[in-house]
Amino acid sequence: MKILQLSLLICVLASNALPYAYADSAVDSLDEIVISAARRASSSEDFSASISLIDKDDVISQKLVTDSMSSALGVSLQQTTPGQGAAIIRGLKGSAILHLVDGMPLSNAMFRSAPTPYLSYVPTTAVERIEVVRGTPASLYGSQAVGGVIQVISYVPHFDSTEVQFRRDVSFYLDTAEDLQSVKGILDFGNQHVAASISAEYLSTGDRRIGGGQKVSPSGFDAKAARFVVNATPAENRSWLVDLHIHEQPGTPRVDELVAGFGQIDPSSSEFLFAPSRRVFTHVRHDAKEAWLGLNWRVDAAWQRIDDDRITRDFQASDRRRESNRSDLFAVSINAAADNETLSWVTGLDLQTDEVRSSRTQEDIVTSTAVAIAARFPSGSHIDQLAAFVNASWKFTDRQQLSGGLRVSDVRVDVPNTSVTEAAKIDVRRLSGDIGWIADFAESWQLVANVGFGFRAPNISDLGTLGNRPGNRFNIPNTNLGAESVRQFDIGVRRHTGNHRFELMLYTLQFDDRITSVLTGDATPDGRDIVQSVNTSKSSIRGAEAGASFNVSDKVSASAVLNYTWGREENGVDPAQAADRIPPLSAHLEIEFAVNDKWTAEAWLTVAREQDRLSQRDIRDVRINPLGTAGWTILGSSISWNLNDIWQVDLAADNLLDKRYREHGSGIDAPGRNISLTARIAW
């Protein structure tokens, strides 16, 4: 507690605004940071919603894209297997958080309400930065943005010369906790009119060594990814972008199913592999500035395919199941924007269609005979969405500005008749909106406040899932579901003075008609509790987020993050209780010392308090200790050597005390003492 109090004191005394994971003293001042979260080029100080930014260097140095968010302001991470990861924002997760890549949806019809792995399938070499909007920007993003938005902004190559030029970036990474070996490479080439980039990455890990030296088996996995992008600028006010991402994990074990959890003697499954997990993403964008009607136009079209195939076998069962689950999502967005000194606005249309194909066979492992059985999802299900929106920001005095907008959405869900589900057609038509206020009440100080109301239409995962779920559960479909709704309010202060930043936000949200899985009272023959999703839950969540970065001297900089969330839930069945999987109070402190032009040293401290406010679902979840997740403290340090303008070598040691700990809600303990070596060559 003393450490947590100290971190809060540092945040307050620093008087800095921190829209980052944890700040880098070399980052430009706040008013020079241009963000895409407003769906038009906007300075972060003109965006009232809370936003955390993670830059490309913090992403490319990580195993997965999600790993780069581990110290982000307002974000906590859940991990069921080392090959996946999911962000929790203000106590919400999974399908309550809208995931985007360059404005195009990563969230699909198979996103479950629990933590989802798909953000881990974005190549780290493709990322320019990640923008995490904490709150409900409902007019800009609509359904699924009830808890926040995670948007990956892809790296776009460009050159200033008319001559053809080349850039190369290659990095190698090794660590001891997971026997990780990784290589990543990027090649840029072109001129100021046409530039292209080709990148590829490969990693392989062994079983994870947790604190104290024990190996968790099986937990190793392989991953490979590639990207090709072309950026064409035929004129100063015209540009075209063509982008392709591919990421695959051929066979990733689901650790919490294969290793006995809390309250278990035996694990739930003898086999459980995501085999394969694959994402293919293509995106075409056209920008035209000061074009028709004198407006800035942007047209995006994208297609994404996610394969979530599985090989499973219940513990000591004689039947193996092979699943094929696929989502094909098409999206088109047309936006028009304009701005002047006092008014900035954007309006547009968003169109999406997402079809799910699913099949499953059951194989006798003795005779090798196989038969088709009911699929995880009703094959042929699809979701169609059409939305129109407008959002504007008005600076009505020298020191104050208002922003806000409205969005009209029509979401149509079609579930076909199967042997286990009845046909269903659901049409959700909703209005969502938000209002933001910024007041400059002193030099470099801002007071901000936001109010928003949004919704989330049920998807195919909610309506039609049939099969095993974590925590020794078995889900049966329910095609009689309606939309969830959320009302959210936050208020806070932030300050920016050059490289000094501070942010403190207080928030509250009310989540009604929340879709949650409840026990039916029945069990499968192999002992799994049968659950079904229903619109029965109401959640009240509130909390605080504080972050700061500041320069102690010319050579020393420091940063701090503090996150606190409290949640309460009523589900219409059990008495009011703690909301499920709410992260505990946590803090992160970091100090950086520039020894000279070539050497830089860093040290960090991360602290999480015990989380013993558990829901009944938490208590039944074999990933969570029914007595509560223990608090923990870890220390780490690193040293960087910039040999010259080309070579950089980083040596890091995390969890120096070899603490055995688990992020609340995760299905595997975190790595133990971990020594890592990174060599990066850029020329």
Location of structure tokens 């420091």: 558
Gap between the Cα atoms of 317 and 269, Å rounded: 8
- For residue 117, the model assigns a pLDDT of 85
Residue percentage of the chain with pLDDT more than 70: 95
Residue 369 in 3-state DSSP?
coil
What's the pLDDT tens digit per position in 476-504?
Answer: 888 889 999 999 999 999 998 777 889 99
- For residue 160, the model assigns a pLDDT of 93
HEC-encoded secondary structure of 427-449: EEEEEEEEEEEEEEEECCEEEEE
- Does pLDDT of 11 surpass 80? no
Which amino acid appears at position 642 of this protein?
A: N
- For residue 18, the model assigns a pLDDT of 37
Give the pLDDT band (50/70/90) at residue 439. very high
Location of structure tokens 């080349």: 166
For the chain, what is the domain count? 1
Which amino acid appears at position 395 of this protein?
A: K
- Does pLDDT of 165 surpass 70? yes
- Does pLDDT of 115 surpass 50? yes
Q: Give the total residue count for the chain.
A: 683
Residue 609, CB half-sphere, CA atoms under 13 Å: how many?
19
Please give the average per-residue pLDDT across 651-670, as a whole number: 96
- Does pLDDT of 16 surpass 50? no
- Does pLDDT of 174 surpass 90? yes
- For residue 485, the model assigns a pLDDT of 92
What's the pLDDT tens digit per position in 239-270?
Answer: 999 999 999 999 999 999 999 999 999 999 99
Least confident range of 191-195, 296-300, 534-538, 624-628: 534-538
Question: Is 588 in contact with 635 (CB distance < 8 Å)?
Answer: no
Which of 269, 261, 259 lies closest to 528, judged by CA? 269
Give the pLDDT band (50/70/90) at residue 341. confident
Q: Which residues of 80-117 are buried (b: 16+ CB within 10 A; e: fewer)?
A: bbbbbbbbbbbbbbbbbbbbbbbbbbbbbbbbbbbbbb
Residue 244, CB half-sphere, CA atoms under 13 Å: how many?
9
Which of 392, 391, 440, 431 lies closest to 411, judged by CA? 431
What's the pLDDT tens digit per position in 550-592?
Answer: 898 999 999 999 999 999 998 777 778 999 899 999 999 999 9
Q: Which residues of 209-235 are buried (b: 16+ CB within 10 A; e: fewer)?
A: bbbeeebbebbbbebebbbebbbebee
HEC-encoded secondary structure of 594-614: ECCCCEEEEEEEEEECCECCC
What's the pLDDT tens digit per position in 373-395?
Answer: 999 999 999 999 999 999 999 99
- For residue 21, the model assigns a pLDDT of 39
- For residue 616, the model assigns a pLDDT of 87
pTM of the complete model: 0.92
Please give the average per-residue pLDDT across 3-29, as a whole number: 38
Give the pLDDT band (50/70/90) at residue 32. low
- Average pLDDT of the residues of the chain: 91
Give the pLDDT band (50/70/90) at residue 3. very low
- Does pLDDT of 624 surpass 90? yes
Pairing of strands 473-476, 529-551: parallel
Please give the average per-residue pLDDT across 149-156, as a whole number: 95
Gap between the Cα atoms of 218 and 206, Å rounded: 8
Rg for the chain (alpha carbons), in Å? 24
- For residue 268, the model assigns a pLDDT of 93
The strand pairing partners of 641, in sequence order, are 599, 649
Count other Cβ atoms within 10 Å, centred on residue 197.
24
- Residue 270, domain CATH: 2.40.170.20
- For residue 177, the model assigns a pLDDT of 97
- For residue 518, the model assigns a pLDDT of 84
Q: Which domain holds residue 113?
A: 2-682
Count other Cβ atoms within 10 Å, centred on residue 28.
9
Question: Is 636 in contact with 674 (CB distance < 8 Å)?
Answer: no
Residues 6+ apart with CB under 8 A from 628: 610, 611, 612, 613, 614
* Strand extents, DSSP E, 176-317: 181-190, 194-204, 208-209, 215-216, 222-235, 238-249, 252-253, 269-288, 296-314
- Does pLDDT of 85 surpass 60? yes
- Does pLDDT of 31 surpass 80? no
End-to-end CA distance of the chain: 47
- Does pLDDT of 9 surpass 50? no
- For residue 25, the model assigns a pLDDT of 32
**Where is pLDDT greater, at 328 or 19?**
328
